[in-house]
Amino acid sequence: MFADIYVCSSIYEGLSTTTIEALVLGKPCVVTDCTGMRDILGDSKYGLVVPITAQALADGMEGLLTDETLRREYEKKATVRAAEYAPKKCIARIEALIS
């Protein structure tokens, strides 16, 4: 069975590769508001960013699992956001910085 949503309960992160991988797979995300997550998901634009508490994480998970409309919306946004992390785009941004 495949996952319906992706959950990251980290207290500390750099750039969360697994969150980006979840976006590539079109999975709606709920993550804790640790370093790097807002860079990836914005202010809950592309996935739910919740405070770093067990209750907030549980509420976010419940929200995505019970609200099919919200889940489908984040599924669509996931693939849009994942495109920003495509290798060619990342390489082009690095080359622009070097130039």
* 66 domain residue, yes or no: yes
Expressed as residue numbers, the domain containing 77 is 6-98
35 domain residue, yes or no: yes
Residues 51, 48: Cα–Cα separation, whole Å: 10
- d(C-alpha 14, C-alpha 3), whole Å: 24
Paired tokens of 3: 């996952």
State the Cα–Cα distance between residues 27 and 7, nearest whole angstrom. Answer: 10
pLDDT value at position 2? 80
Judge whether 71 lies within some domain.
yes
How would you write 30-85 as a 3-class SS string?
EEECCCCHHHHHCCCCCCEEECCCHHHHHHHHHHHHHCHHHHHHHHHHHHHHHHHH
Looking at the domain assignment, is residue 41 inside a domain? yes
pLDDT tens-digit map of 22-46: 999 999 999 999 999 999 999 999 9
Reported as a pLDDT band with limits 50, 70 and 90, residue 83 is very high
Closest CA to 4 of 53, 46, 66: 66
Residue 1 lies in a domain: no
What is the count of structural domains for the chain? 1
- Domain with residue 87: its CATH number is 3.40.50.2000
Phi (first) and psi of residue 32, to 5 degrees: -80, 155
